[in-house]
Structure 1
Amino acid sequence: MRADRLVSLVLLLRQHGRLSATALARELEVSTRTVLRDIEALSAAGVPVYAERGRHGGFALLPGFRTELTGLNHDEAIALLTAGSGRDEQVFGLGSALASAMRKVVDALPESHRSSASDAAGRLLVEPETDLLSRRLAIEEVPDATMVEVRRAVLAGHRLRIHYAATDQSPRWRTVDPIGLVTVRDRIYLLATRSGADRTYRLSRILAAEELPEPAQRQNRVDLDRIWQERCAQFLSEGHLTVLVRVNPEQREELLNSAVAVRAEASDADGRLRLEVTFQDARHAEWALWQLGTNAEALAPQSLRTALYDRATAMAARYGDSS
């Protein structure tokens, strides 16, 4: 365990340049005292790690230091092989590269671990194409040429010209500064800025793309997870309708499949679920709840309850005549 931790410590310093003892302890999930002991052990073993004092100090490796740290333990090999077995292997157009990397991982394993790791990975299935009801999951296709151009621009830090078909708009060309790529439920999004304003583009709607030679206007370091959370919050606050719903637990997934997002969820005393969900607009909410019939009840807003009542009254009048 300590050998793996020492390797991880060196890799963290190599990737980040300089980290404080507190940051290293957080990444390695140990105490700062353990980190200091590990630093001493690395120094004694000849690894040129040194301390920088001051407010922004920490530990770092001497510039130019390199060493081969290619050993994988059994669980690490299983994790890589399992991750490479899922449908996400085609994400970002890197399927062939991932397959090649998996072959190298297997080849690099000790003979005693090779067969057991492959067998273990074969017993772990990641995101199959269908669920228990045999419903195929929708996968958005992105042309290889488009994916390659977008990925190159993102990684190289170059501007990108895209022919984009926004909802209810004619396709047109735009020049953007790419920040990063995010994949969510088999959809890939390009996070970018255009003329300094935040923009999010779905890759399946990019009809063509061209990497430009000029550098993108963006920060050197990026926290994609934070940016994605901010974009999601902004998206949910723009023109959507929030609805409070009581629903039978059996219909929960059906409701969530039609909603844009879930803001809150709790259980009532009678076993029904109370959810605060977001829909695109009032028409979308009315349609979604009508599909659930008496298995769901809209508690708010009142305008939605009135719309559902009017629809139900009109339907009852239509079929009320026994003749």
Structure 2
Amino acid sequence: MRADRLVSLVLLLRQHGRLSATALARELEVSTRTVLRDIEALSSAGVPVYAERGRHGGFALLPGFRAELTGLNHDEALALLVAGSRQTFGLGSALASAMRKVVDALPESSRSTAAGAVQRLLIDPETDLLARRLVAEEVPGTVLAEVRHAVFAGHKLRIHYAARNEAPKWRIVDPIGLVIVRDKGYLLATRSGADRTYRLSRIMAAEALPEPAERPERVDLDQAWQERSSRFRTGGDQVTVHLRLNPARREDLVGTALTVRAEETDADGWLRLEASFQDSRHAEWALWQLATNAEALSPQWLRDTLRDRAAAIAARYAGLS
């Protein structure tokens, strides 16, 4: 276990250049004291790791240091093979080729056990348990290739983008990174210095430009995504709904709503919630899915909409006895 952690520590320093003891502890899921002991062990073993003092200090490796860190354990090999079963950002064929090389480089014992374990795992089948086909977002390969090139090379990107309920428009952005959430791809970028998030499936065409992008040299993509997600949940045309809910359907609502800001239990055991939705259409859809297990208390227009929709369906089926 410690040998694996020491290898991971060296890899983290090689990839990030400099990291604080706190950051290393968070990445390795150990205490800062353990990190300091591991740094000392690496130094004793001849690995040129040194400390930089000051506010932005941390630990780093001497420039140009390389080490052959070979030998995957079983779980690491299995994780790579599972990752190779998913195609992301148009790199499916390259990923499959890389996985073949990984398997070929494994010791015979690890190769057979890892390959056998992968046969016992199925990641994202085409249909769910009810045989409903899961529709993946289609993004043209030429678009993905241009977007990837701009992101990795640090160039400006020209995209023909169709925002929701708008005609496609050309715009030039500074790409920051790519994110996948539940098989939906997003481009994080800035435009005229302002943060922008673009759905990959809405990019009709893309062209990587020769000009360098205006962006920081390093980025914490996870933090950037969390910040944009938070702004999305609290801005735009969001709708706040007060409702009563059968507690048996709470998870269904929480999984659909953007946020649930307040919750209490009525005398009859039902929940009273304050939930926010992306817009009026989202709110209507979410409450309709819950049928008689939920009652919208406000806004009044939502109550009226759900009542009229239910009445129209009842009228359609009336007299068919």
Output the TM-score relative to the length of structure 2: 0.86
- Cα deviation code 1:177-214 (max 9, x no counterpart): 11111112221111112222222211111111111000
The residue that corresponds to 2:163 in the other structure is 166
Contact 1:158/1:212 (8 A) holds in 2: yes
Contact 1:251/1:292 (8 A) holds in 2: yes
Alignment of 1:148-187 (within 5 A): 148-187=145-184
Using the TM superposition, give the Cα deviation of residue 111 of structure 1 relative to its aligned residue in structure 2, in angstroms: 0.9
Using the TM superposition, give the Cα deviation of residue 124 of structure 1 relative to its aligned residue in structure 2, in angstroms: 2.1
Alignment of 1:1-323 (within 5 A): 1-85=1-85, 89-236=86-233, 237-248=235-246, 259=256, 261-263=258-260, 268=265, 272=270, 275-282=273-280, 284-286=282-284, 288-290=286-288, 292-309=290-307
| In structure 1, C-alpha distance between the alignment counterparts of 2:316 and 2:60, rounded to whole Å | 77
Q: What stretches of structure 1 of length at least 5 have no aligned partner?
A: none
Using the TM superposition, give the Cα deviation of residue 104 of structure 1 relative to its aligned residue in structure 2, in angstroms: 1.3
| In structure 1, C-alpha distance between the alignment counterparts of 2:3 and 2:319, rounded to whole Å | 80
Contact 1:18/1:60 (8 A) holds in 2: yes
| In structure 2, C-alpha distance between the alignment counterparts of 1:299 and 1:169, rounded to whole Å | 32
Using the TM superposition, give the Cα deviation of residue 30 of structure 1 relative to its aligned residue in structure 2, in angstroms: 2.6
Using the TM superposition, give the Cα deviation of residue 82 of structure 1 relative to its aligned residue in structure 2, in angstroms: 1.5
- Cα deviation code 1:14-69 (max 9, x no counterpart): 12222333332332223333333322322222212223334443322221111111
Contact 1:6/1:42 (8 A) holds in 2: yes
Q: Structure 1 residues 214, 306: closer, same or farther in 2, change over 3 A?
A: same
Counterpart AA for 1:285:
A
Count of residues in correspondence between the two structures = 319
Q: Structure 1 residues 311, 210: closer, same or farther in 2, change over 3 A?
A: closer
Q: What stretches of structure 2 of length at least 5 have no aligned partner?
A: none
Secondary structure in 2 matching 1:166: coil
Please give the root-mean-square deviation of Cα atoms over the aligned residues, in Å: 3.1
Contact 1:191/1:201 (8 A) holds in 2: yes
Q: Structure 1 residues 23, 225: closer, same or farther in 2, change over 3 A?
A: closer
| In structure 2, C-alpha distance between the alignment counterparts of 1:301 and 1:290, rounded to whole Å | 15
Contact 1:290/1:308 (8 A) holds in 2: yes
| In structure 1, C-alpha distance between the alignment counterparts of 2:207 and 2:157, rounded to whole Å | 6
Using the TM superposition, give the Cα deviation of residue 6 of structure 1 relative to its aligned residue in structure 2, in angstroms: 1.3
| In structure 2, C-alpha distance between the alignment counterparts of 1:317 and 1:298, rounded to whole Å | 22
Contact 2:259/2:277 (8 A) holds in 1: no
| In structure 2, C-alpha distance between the alignment counterparts of 1:143 and 1:320, rounded to whole Å | 47
Contact 2:258/2:278 (8 A) holds in 1: no
Secondary structure in 1 matching 2:236: coil
Q: Greater shift after overlay, 47-56 or 127-136?
A: 47-56
| In structure 2, C-alpha distance between the alignment counterparts of 1:129 and 1:253, rounded to whole Å | 24
